[in-house]
Amino acid sequence: MATAFGNLVMAIRGIGSNWLRTLLTMLGVLIGVASVIVLLAIGTGSSQSIEKSIESLGSNTLTVFSGSSSGSTTGTKIRNSTLNTASVTALSNSFNDPDVKSVSPVVTTSVTATYNGASYSTSVIGSTASYLSAENYTVSAGRSISRADVAERAPVIDIGTSVASALFATGADPLGKQIQLGSSEFTVVGLLASKGSSGLSNQDAVAIAPYTAVQDQLTGESASFSELLVQGKSSATLSLAESEVESTLASLNDTTVANLPFTVIDSASLLSTATSSSQTFTALLGWVAAVSLLVGAIGVMNIMLVTVTERTREIGIRKAIGARRRVILTQFLIESTVISFLGGIFGVLAGILVSHFKIDGVTPVLASYSIPLALGVAISVGIVAGFYPAHRAASLRPIDALRYE
């Protein structure tokens, strides 16, 4: 009887007898496998970048907003419920607030920055030098805005890499150049090192100037700040710092901590909220990947079923000239295994290749489990879907297989 090797030769001849059909079948497997791998890589990549960008926000900071979270300020005697220089001075007192490292007032606005015809819309943060360290920004060239700049209300600015690359030609040195923000001119004194973009926002599309200058030139003179950024001495003492900030602000405003007209949020709780939402996102992408794996598997099944069923007559001929059922089954099993396997391998390669490109601003990160998962499902589905119709055809009487249309 025919040997195993003879079977293999026959199966390969069967595969080779219709290259187009074979290639199309392989393509079906390939696309199924590659799409699952890429989709899971996008999911992993974006959830990783969300986590990274949240970490880069700074892990031991408190943000103080105007407005009460409890909403029960009515009726209390509030002399001063805005965040102003007095609040900054009070919070900077190291006797009352021993666990606070720095307090930075924050004024934000959005403007269109222009230079030599190039323009870019960016958010401008007016603050002090301590803002940069609290938010984990570092200066890669030039200098940071200084205490003196704030005091002198100097129109100087540190710009992020996205702003720099949008306004200046590559190779040009932005330091010392005057850029136009709205109707005012600011001198670039420093470049911020890139923090990378996240799925949420581009942290390099930012410009930081002294808050005094921002108030003078952009937002208009005002006694209040939109928020205060408080940096704690360490993450361990952040909750101590939080209660110190609350009681200082309460006594400054002649009220109790319970009726404080401000909201204090710590970055750790922000982190945990964001982490849990990114986990939800990953789980969602997992479902999408599972559905696409299912769709891919159905595609593989469909194309295998069609191609093998199409060959029912061929199976009838083979039976009529003396092929045993087992020989036919072995041939088709080898054929569908080889096709699914080659398609699967090329699918993995294609998936890995595509995952090297940025897709919609997300850098995909290969999930190691996705490769055996996609390959395993595609190959087993391909084999079963190829084997089943071959088995059905081989079990027919030769005459019925021959008559099949």
Partner 1 sequence: MIIRDEVDAPDDEVIGSRAAEPIIALKGIVKSYAMGGVEVLAIRGISLIVERGEFVAIMGTSGSGKSTLMNIVGCLDVPTSGHYRLDGVNIRHLDDVALSRIRNKKIGFVFQGFNLIPRMSAIHNVELPMAYSGVKPAERRKRAVVALEMVGLGDRLSHFSSELSGGQQQRVAIARAMCTNPSLILADEPTGNLDSRSSAELMSLFTSLHDQGRTIVMITHEPDIAAYASRVVVLRDGEIVSNRPQDASNAVSYELAPSGRYSFGGSGDEG
Q: Given the complex with partner 1, which of 38 and 401 has the nearer CB atom? A: 401
Minimum CB–partner distance for residue 387 and partner 1 (Å): 17
Provide the angle, in degrees to the nearest 10, between the axes of the packed helices 267-310 and 325-354: 150
Q: Given the complex with partner 1, which of 26 and 111 has the nearer CB atom? A: 26
Closest C-alpha to 304, from 372, 370, 393, 374: 393
Q: Given the complex with partner 1, which of 79 and 321 has the nearer CB atom? A: 321
Minimum CB–partner distance for residue 277 and partner 1 (Å): 56
Q: Which residue's entry shows tokens 């600015």?
A: 157
213, 155 in Cβ contact below 8 A?
Answer: yes
Which residues are at the interface with partner 1 (CB under 8 A)?
A: 1-3, 6, 10, 13, 17-18, 314, 316-327, 397-399, 402
The residues near 215 (Cβ < 8 Å, ≥ 6 apart) are 107, 126, 221, 222
285, 40 in Cβ contact below 8 A?
Answer: yes
Minimum CB–partner distance for residue 336 and partner 1 (Å): 18
Distances (CA, A) of 340 to 28, 300, 347, 356, 376: 9, 8, 10, 24, 10
Minimum CB–partner distance for residue 405 and partner 1 (Å): 12
Q: Given the complex with partner 1, which of 213 and 394 has the nearer CB atom? A: 394
143, with CB counted inside 10 A (0-12, 13-18, 19+), is: middle
15 vs 22: CA distance, rounded Å: 6
Q: Given the complex with partner 1, which of 101 and 319 has the nearer CB atom? A: 319
Q: Given the complex with partner 1, which of 320 and 353 has the nearer CB atom? A: 320
Q: Which residue's entry shows tokens 């190829």?
A: 386
Paired sense of beta strands 156-159 and 184-192, if any: parallel
Minimum CB–partner distance for residue 404 and partner 1 (Å): 12
Beta-ladder partners of 202: 197
Minimum CB–partner distance for residue 328 and partner 1 (Å): 10
Minimum CB–partner distance for residue 45 and partner 1 (Å): 44
Q: Given the complex with partner 1, which of 17 and 72 has the nearer CB atom? A: 17
Minimum CB–partner distance for residue 343 and partner 1 (Å): 20
Chain centroid to Cα 357, Å, comes to: 14
The residues near 368 (Cβ < 8 Å, ≥ 6 apart) are none
Q: Given the complex with partner 1, which of 176 and 322 has the nearer CB atom? A: 322
**Structure tokens belonging to residue 53:** 């960008």
* Secondary structure of 28-52 in HEC code, one letter for each residue: HHHHHHHHHHHHHHHHHHHHHHHHH
